[in-house]
Structures are given as structure tokens and as C-alpha cells.
Amino acid sequence: MSEGRSSKAERTATAVRALARGEVIVIHDENHPEAGGYFCCSATRIDADTVNFMVTHGRGLICLAMSETRMQRLSVPMMVGDTPYARRSTFGASIEASRGVTTGISAADRAATILAASAADATPDDIVMPGHVFPILVRTGGVLIRGGLPEAALDLGTMADGGDAVAMCAILDEAGELAGPEMLASVARGFQLELVAVADVVADRLRNELVVERVAERVIESGLGQDDDGGDGGTYRAIVYRNDLDGHEHVALVAGELDGDEPVSVRVHSQCLTGDVLGSTRCDCGDQLALALRRIADEGRGAIIYMHQEGRGIGLANKIRAYALQDEGRDTVEANLELGFKEDLRDYGITAQIIKDLGIRNVRLLTNNPQKVDGLSLYGVDVIERAQIQAPPHADNIAYLRTKREKLGHLLDDRHLGGRDGDE
């Protein structure tokens, strides 16, 4: 088991146990640090001291993230309709407990409101509006539908106690702005609280739940990967998958029978319109795809998982923008960073689900990229072997290949790169 997989799985499990004990945790979105971070605790275990702690040290609004089913059951209206801003939370009208409170603003009163609204038998009669607790609607599916902080918090709460409501409070810095990653980590350390990321929750759910479905299947032939002996790319079962996260469609090209314990050759290939379709020589994507098809055709058993994640996940438009920056002298990594992205945004959770659905137990991964091995292992795929798949370079992609090796850690042989690496 890789260190990354162990730490992510352990963080989620530890956070769930803390919530089950009624403790506060800190949750943040490491991929979107501008979203800040929140204190979070079980709604059914909250008390006045917990509310006071969150208000004193977080200084944000006390919110109650709840399922859309609970929101409807309590007849809480939305403050606005569906928003076009995908990363903004959907707030309901503020609420107050209908009994057992005074002004509603004290820590004890807000705790009473949260307990009343999150009770298993809660009804509209148990709350009044407006009030001093702010409901946030979480759509069915949680982080598998929207990877936001309220969704991750509610998913953790559900794992902890099976409930469908969790209390949250934004953490502000000394200037009154949303706290950044360093401060959030410091707050968690200072109060000995568990710190968990949205990505950890997504990874946990993808490890344990199936969110892809087969939507089409037929046999196709490939003309790629032709060799000097007249062999072509082979015949495959093309299986189209659609995932519930974003509706994207991906294709698995399957040769032979994949069950059993014998390792299966698998190529995880990210869509590259310019290289795969247009034959661009500024990358090695099309060449690698052809090599993988040829190798699997020769073996008579294996799979190409063709993923809808153009440009290492940044999309086609941004990939072309990155090309323009490369024409001005940036390398492939520098271009991504200048556009505001990480070096590689790809995630392999959906890929892992497809591999599992195909019944592949042990993977011989056709890749030069060790991050793919770690990425699949994170989601429970047993990669027992990595097989190099390196095509001869073109004159205009040697610098690109060197950057992949030097900055992204790709395992590429010197003899194929020429120039300053020598021509031994």
C-alpha cells in the first residue's frame, strides 16, 4: 500500500471516529484553497460548549448542512433558486428552534436549534423562521455530485452516525478573511483536531461505492498500431461508461477475458485530441496509444481505459492556451502553472471504478508515469507491475519528454532523448 493511499484513508477514518465521539474536526478543500475551511461537528451531538468554541475560534456563521430530504421535510425555503455559481453553497432561510430558546443568538440557543432541526423525528413545527442558524442544502449524492465543503462534511457526518445533518462554522483569519491552508493546519494542530480534505472524502467514497455505469457496448476494430508484418491494432469490445459525478463518458477497449489472478495489461490513456486524432508530434500521446494497442493485440488480453480528461485534466481550450505559452518558451509544466493549474490535475478514481467493473484483479500498468501507479493504488487497484511504454521521440517533442522526466518524474530512458543526455 502506498503512503498516499494509507494517509488519505487514515485521515478520513480518523475524522469519522472523531465526529462519532462528538468532537470537532477541521475540513478544507486543498484543490480550492480560496474556499477556506470549516469547523465541523455532528449535529445530533452538539452542545453549547461546542457552538461557543466554533464561534470564538472560527468567527464565521453557524450553519447546518442537511440533506435535501431533511430540508424538504422541515419545509425550509431556499434563500435563492439554483445558482449558476457551481462552487457556492445553496442556503435555506435561517431557522430557530420553536421551543426552549430565548433570543436564539446564545450558544445554548443555537445548539438547541441544531438539535431540534437534526432530530430523527423533526417536523416543521419544531422550527421557526427567521433565526440564527443557517441551513445549507446538500443534494443527494454528496461529494459524488458536488465536491464542496458542505457535501464532504455531511458525508463524513453520515459515515459517523448515519444522520443527515452536520453543524459547520467558517474559520476566519485575524483580518476577517477566510483562513488559508497554513492557518487551517495551524488551528488543527493547536486544538489537536483532525484535519481532513474534501479529496480525502471523495477518495473514500470512490473506494467503497460504484458511481459508473455501462451505457453502450459493441465490437470495434482498430487500425492504429500497425506493424511491419501487417498486424493492426486489434479487435476490442468497446464499453462506454458514464459516471454520476459529472456525466462524462469514458471508453474501455477490452481484448480477451480479464477475470482470474493472472496480471492484465492495462493502459490508462487520457484523451488527447491533438496527439491521438490529429497526429501532433509535439507530444507522445498518439504514439503511446498505438503502442499500447499493438502490445495488447499481440498478447490477446488486456484493456485500454480511454479517459475524458484532455490536457492532463485542464480541458481542450486551456490545453491550446498552454500550447501558445509553450510557443513563447515555457515548458509544459510552466505553461500549466502560468494558467493557474497544477502540473497534473488528473484523478484516477473513475478509472479505478472502471477497472474494478471490468473484473480486473491484478494490473500490469503500461505507463512511464509513476503518478498513475500511485493514483490507482489510492483507490484500491492492485498494480503489481509497471511496464514501460516509450515510443521513439520526434525532433519537436524531445524537450517535452525531458520535462516529463525531470519535472513530472516520468521514467524515460536517456537513449531515447538524445542531445544533452547523450546518444549512447
By the 10 Å C-beta count (0-12 exposed, 13-18 middle, 19+ buried), 250 is classed as buried
Q: Which of 45, 344, 347, 364 is catalytic?
A: 344
- The number of CA neighbours under 13 Å toward the Cβ of 186 is 10
In angstroms, the CA 83 to CA 80 distance is 7
Q: Specify whether 173 is catalytic.
A: no
**Cβ proximity of 214 and 239 under 8 Å:** yes
Q: Which of 346, 347, 364, 402 is catalytic?
A: 346
Q: Specify whether 402 is catalytic.
A: no
Q: Which sequence positions are flagged as catalytic?
A: 344, 346
